[in-house]
Amino acid sequence: MIDLSFKNNKEPEGGTLLISDPFLDEAYFRRSVILLCEHSENASFGLVLNNFLDVDLHELDHDFPDIHARISVGGPVETQSLYYIHSFSNIEDSFEVRDGLYFGGSFSQLKSLIEESPSNGAKIRFFLGYSGWDRGQLANEILEHSWIVVDNISNKEILGTLDDNFWQHCMEKQGKEFKTISRFPLNPNHN
């Protein structure tokens, strides 16, 4: 018999991902995958990886190189601010989220790397806003089965996804019971 409960035993930490419950009905987090950038008992923050906008960064900042730099809504906090993750270990003031994946740092340095080689654009993801949790909030949401915590999604998948089915892809990688859950319709009445 397959257990269809939405839970696992992994603990959150910086660099892990949060996959939302298939029936979580909250605008920012419906069928979302979040990269948890920092996590402590006092607070956590992360970026929604699969809530894309139909706008390119060059359209918002005409000084930015005209590469395909799709932007995601990272969450409901500070939605007027631009955040980014990348795989460049030499960007000043960035910090390592997980092995080989970095958050933030010098925007002008990042821009220069893209101007030097437009292919470097594939090593960066951009976000407007972020997702944040106060003390105990994320732990409670995990206990309520709003999220499962996973660590088996590669940096290449995180940086390379432009896929609107990224939530389903990540769910399917969690095993047989999650593969079944990943195919549930968003509205159970549409079954």
How do residues 81-90 score in pLDDT, each as one tens digit? Answer: 999 999 999 9
pLDDT at 141: 94
Mean pLDDT of 24-49: 93
**146 vs 6, residue with greater confidence:** 146
Mean pLDDT of 154-168: 87
pLDDT at 6: 67
The DSSP symbol for 126 reads E
- CA dist., res. 137 & res. 131, Å (int): 12
Give how far the C-alpha of residue 102 lies from the chain's centroid of Cα atoms, to the nearest Å.
13
Identify the band that residue 60 occupies on the pLDDT scale cut at 50, 70 and 90.
Answer: confident
Taking alpha carbons only, the member of 2, 3, 12, 4 closest to residue 148 is 12
The DSSP line for 15-64 is T-EEEE-TT---TTTTT-EEEEEEE-SSEEEEEESS-EEEEEHHHH-TTS
Per-residue pLDDT tens over the stretch 162-173: 777 899 999 899
Contact 48, 41 (CB under 8 A): no
Mean pLDDT of 48-59: 85
